[in-house]
Structure 1
């Protein structure tokens, strides 16, 4: 009786698997609030150069973050059904190789940042540090999703600095390039990250209890569904208030309303706490961000 060997995946296939290339929802979650901030900062279309920098930079940094996350979590991932077949966890790729891939992707993103201005370049360093720190926060912080929220939202002040910044490197110049409402948008977006990443954590609740990871789903306990809904509402209410302060109007609010309708949909998906429902809620979250972005673009275009 003949046997057939299982074909070994190519390095490219492994790299694409490592960076979750077949799951674009991850980088879309970063992209929409960043682009919304870019349009707000520019008071309209920001130009093709900055659009390309932030779209490509977002994809590259999310991919680099996957590499670091998988290295940090490999011992945990082998005990979770959903993550047990990741390249590092199943032994198809070594830690050093994964880190080199991540470093190369981060370096490419930094080259893009170098085409902007001094304040944006300066902000890229704390952005990178927070992104690297997040995977280890799950061992120390009761709600590590808050750390992820800062990491996933740092494109917002960078978008403002890219539009408003100049060539000076001193702290005052950086402060001038990032107005207070940019930081307020970062905090607002943090609540959205808390909402969708808590949904994600609800999927792995049983596994996380067993292996000892700290997550917002475990911290919130039986108030997880209420907490997720409250995070969504805080995000949309604060984002709407900031947008109105910046002079956005009816079309922007229509985007907020479309996002609010999706919150009701999400509540229906997660209220029974099934793995399937919670994971679907997480996967479709990028449509909420897109609704807000679309409303912002249309509103500014029709002024």
Structure 2
């Protein structure tokens, strides 16, 4: 009898740009303070890709190089590259194709971008899972590459402190054991939320013009109260739903990895799940919100803490309004360097 294939994360890497923007730096740009930012969102600093000639592909390329350094592999064996990004290098060609070319992934390998805002990693994991478990592909690189600083408004004290830049690369392969992705729930709250989290101009509905630039419509606009409320309720409810439908209790979860948007949101999700904060993997203090890169960067940074067989809940929420929660059983112990 043919065993059922299950998609599993088998390697991971990440990259954070060297330049750092601290809260004190931001306080010189807008009316705020380190204390105000830290108290409200839990962020002390964020990494910024300052070179305006470098796009998000740089973050993805360096993340793949980190993955290969930590988990030596032959990139010629990769048979698909998918990239989650809100900040593509160009409208076309795809950022995934640029990343593949820069890392030596051979011609013929399909590469494409997709966008699900801050939920992109969970959406990408579902895409890769379907392709791997169907048997169509065996080694998929899921890359997240987010140059959020390009749409951060330097005069908006409510959004400027939130976002940082970063990339991650995750290798997804089939396994026949009971490790890997157990369940994923993804969805959208489409009705009535378009303008709650949006970059108004730059797309085909409102192309760039002197007017849109002068009015700051190429920067992110956010209804913070609505997003906070929706994020807490949705991330908490979907996490509980995934646990319940898989017959697990909170005590059987080793780690919860929430999207790193706001420390107060993460604390509220932990409270809803009746879990102590030390069961959450958190890096928002030194990274800020790296959008779809936030969850895999946390996994990569905390890789040595995670053990084979650990049950992990990952949950995210973003513009769209997208949401996603995944349950996986970690597939490997971190090799000694």
More helix by share: 1
Name the TM-score, length of structure 1 as normaliser. 0.35
Higher normalized contact order (CA 8 Å, seq sep 6+, divided by chain length) = 2
Name the TM-score, length of structure 2 as normaliser. 0.32
